[in-house]
Chains A and B, each alone.
Chain A
Amino acid sequence: MNSLNIYYKYILIEKELIASLKQGEASAFKVLVENYQDRVYYSVLNILHNAAEAEDTAQETFIQVYESISGFKEESSLATWIYRIAIRKALEKIRKHKNRQRLHSIVPWWMPSEEKSVDAAYLNPGINNENKEKATLIFKAISELPHNQRVAFTLIRVQGMKHEEVSEIMQLSIKAVESLLSRAKENLKNKLKHYYTS
């Protein structure tokens, strides 16, 4: 790590980092990516359930950040703004994938099938061996939830974010987030009852 990076990482406060980014400083962008790449990648990985798609989406997130930082009004924290972009990009990916699947079912000779690329027996790398089977089942059930419920549940239950943070990222009230979480739980219970009661 060079001295300039250390300078940016430890001396500059967020506002100064934003100002440097707005001026198009490459080293500030590098610091931003290094600071947020793990969290952004992990968030989109938990939503997309596919490592390659998650990396692609994380890259798209940072490209979007780089291109639109001049329009960032600082009404929320930089982290919240970046997360918001990341989640939106991840949801766009899911929608595109679903559209492609739909098109594939109509004109299979035109659209190649991508069914194996997303959600196929996803296993979070942090899961230990003894829970693998159950975890795969739970993640499959989560991937079948409606988009908003999936995002709220993943950010709160899998990533351990606070309700307030998630409400800012999703631009919803805390009550709305709680409602999404509660509906997600009910849906998951229904989806998983076949497994747990058999």
Chain B
Amino acid sequence: MKNISNEQFEHEMNIISNLKEVGAPNFFYTRLKARMEKENLSNELASTFQPILVICALTLFLFMNSLFLKNDSNIVNTNSSQEIEAFAASYDQTISN
């Protein structure tokens, strides 16, 4: 396939050169201002609520943790006495001397 000559290329590129500049849409500044205000508001809200959210999440995490630990210690206590009894029974012995 034949290549395009420089002259032909330059001639074709003139179609897209020196075009009349297209301006920004109407009310560009108004929309920009509205967007900036909206983003500011959402940033402010985020910075206000972020510490509250973090504290709430942390409190919930600690509460759940303590709940699980409490349950776990009960299970361990019950299990451990049952296990000792089962162990003793398997050797036909009692726990007390």
Contacts and interface: CB of A to CB of B under 8 A. Distances in A.
A58 B17 contact: no
Interface in A18-59: 30, 33-34, 37-42, 45, 51, 55, 58-59
Contact of B18 (A40, A59, A131, A160): A160
A33 B31 CA distance: 12
Nearest to A66: B36
Contacts, number: 91
A58 B35 CA distance: 12
A158 B8 CA distance: 17
A192 B16 contact: no
Interface in B52-68: none
Interface string B1-23: 11110001100110111111111
B21 A138 contact: no
B29 A37 contact: yes
Size range of the chain B interface in the assembly: 20 to 34
A134 B17 CA distance: 13
Contacts of A80: none
Given A63-B36, A124-B16, A126-B19, A58 B2 contact: no
A126 to B, nearest CB: 3
A196 B23 contact: no
Nearest to B22: A125
A194 interface: yes
Contacts of B23: 37-38, 41-42
A82 interface: no
Interface of A: 30, 33-34, 37-42, 45, 51, 55, 58-59, 62-63, 66, 124-127, 131, 134-135, 138-139, 157-160, 185, 188-189, 192-194, 196-197
Given A59-B35, A126-B19, 17 more contacts: A34-B29, A37-B29, A38-B24, A40-B24, A51-B25, A55-B31, A124-B16, A124-B19, A127-B19, A134-B15, A135-B15, A138-B15, A157-B16, A158-B16, A158-B19, A160-B17, A197-B1
